[in-house]
Structure 1
């Protein structure tokens, strides 16, 4: 039964069906587990506290829980876990089951969850990811995470796409991003062109995320994102917003702070120093609802 519009105490029948597809007997159902649905700018996640290591096959569960229309549905699957080198550990899986090195919106949703659940009292917490250790703060409903210095920056690359040369810019801000500047975001076929760039032999075998960017003014960008692992356009992307801001700064088109407006979701703010030694990604993270799923061991 739904308690209120923000918090649901709800057992999802579609989760039961999802388990039954592989396990046809009730004796296989051995665990009821709580999940929280969270989003930032429309970039949505299923989050589970896995500090007791109850979930082992993370990739398989990611594919099931993130499947839209047949399950909870999300862009990604977040797991809060214990860490030996930081306060907490984040595992992030895309909806196709692939594990990502880092996720800017995902880590901010995780930080919001940690503080909301009173799992930490200090002003700043450290989060271990597959990429590096990140540091985050929660203040006045805004979650800020310090990003690491960018790597593998390339400001001079031309890709051959459908017999045409496309000028692109490369950067890794925890995950790889390819930036394409455009004049009209609404006319871009993000899924089609994004897929061609994402799977281009230049980026094989790992692939790349693709960000289509328009400069609005010295402190604002608009962006549309094709996310690797989701294999489609997403409403928002924290690392994509960071990548777009840093590349635009390196090209002399913007200066800090930069607001990055996705075509659908809410803006993110990027702060950075002139030497790019300190880069901060800031924005809201929202708990949409919570519920329970039945899982098999």
Structure 2
């Protein structure tokens, strides 16, 4: 089987061309392909499939082999893959688990439109929202010293979230309209180098503290931007902006 490896700010994915519909992967096979010691190694796996009315369909699996919710960095990588295959040129319109998405490529960056957000729930010391995937956002100081795995896992498996799970983002506010973000991702069950829906959630939460669009975000794997239009009851025209790189192509036997 031919596969491609992509990464967006260190968030890495196994990407498969399934336009002919021949791939029917089991949970165990997806988990094997994402295994960093026995397989290819990735935070997730994506299938690019045909879908009537759209340029393509994005099907996303977490590294544990279970089908996942929307992945922002994955979506950006799949748009770059679609351009590589010749499915699209500089613009794309595709369907994912959370609905339709528009995207365009400009200056080696993929601009991916995320879903509109109607509301942010305020918790005791954090906020919670769904930007295509559920995200818990907590502002902290000295982010570089935080044990993201332990703190994130405790929240992800707390009484409220343990059944469905949530991604957990820790964000430090920086000068000049910048944020620093680290994320514990459900499905991966560990910290990842970047989370697209997570930085989107952090940017929208920070706008309530005076941050203006576009917000610049530093993650372990590089830098992203999030642009948006703020409304009285939510946000629209939300775009996740960043690089998407093909790392290598190979073959593997299942």
With structure 1 as the length reference, what TM-score do the two structures score?
0.82
Q: Shift of residue 230 of structure 1?
A: 0.2
C-alpha separation between the residues in 1 aligned to 2:115 and 2:59? Answer: 18
In the TM superposition, 1:53-64 aligns within 5 A as 53-64=21-32
In the TM superposition, 1:19-98 aligns within 5 A as 33-98=1-66
Q: Shift of residue 214 of structure 1?
A: 0.3
C-alpha separation between the residues in 2 aligned to 1:49 and 1:185? Answer: 38
Aligned residues: 251
C-alpha separation between the residues in 2 aligned to 1:113 and 1:293? Answer: 19
Partner of residue 116 from structure 1, selected from 81, 84, 88: 84
Q: Look up the match of 2:69.
A: 101
Q: Shift of residue 187 of structure 1?
A: 1.6
Map Cα deviations across residues 11-67 of structure 1 (whole Å, 9 max, x no partner). Answer: xxxxxxxxxxxxxxxxxxxxxx21110001110000000111221124332201000
Q: Shift of residue 178 of structure 1?
A: 0.2
Moved more, 223-232 or 266-275: 266-275
Map Cα deviations across residues 62-110 of structure 1 (whole Å, 9 max, x no partner). Answer: 2010001211100000110111242210011010112112000000000
Moved over 4 A (4+): none
Asked whether the 8 Å contact 1:215–1:253 carries over to 2, the reply is: no
Structure 2: segments with no counterpart, 5+ residues? none
Map Cα deviations across residues 178-216 of structure 1 (whole Å, 9 max, x no partner). Answer: 001100112211111101111112124211000000000
Larger radius of gyration: 1
Q: Look up the match of 1:145.
A: 112
Change in CA separation of 1:95 and 1:254 when aligned onto 2, cut-off 3 Å: same
Partner of residue 283 from structure 1, selected from 238, 242, 250: 242
Q: Look up the match of 2:222.
A: 266
Structure 1: segments with no counterpart, 5+ residues? 1-32, 159-166
Q: Look up the match of 1:219.
A: 177
C-alpha separation between the residues in 2 aligned to 1:110 and 1:211? Answer: 23
C-alpha separation between the residues in 2 aligned to 1:197 and 1:273? Answer: 30
C-alpha separation between the residues in 1 aligned to 2:174 and 2:68? Answer: 30
Change in CA separation of 1:137 and 1:95 when aligned onto 2, cut-off 3 Å: same
C-alpha separation between the residues in 2 aligned to 1:294 and 1:70? Answer: 12
Partner of residue 192 from structure 1, selected from 121, 139, 150: 150
SS of aligned partner of 1:242: helix
SS of aligned partner of 1:278: strand
Asked whether the 8 Å contact 2:63–2:187 carries over to 1, the reply is: yes
C-alpha separation between the residues in 2 aligned to 1:190 and 1:267? Answer: 19
Question: What RMSD in Å do the two structures reach over aligned CA positions?
Answer: 1.3
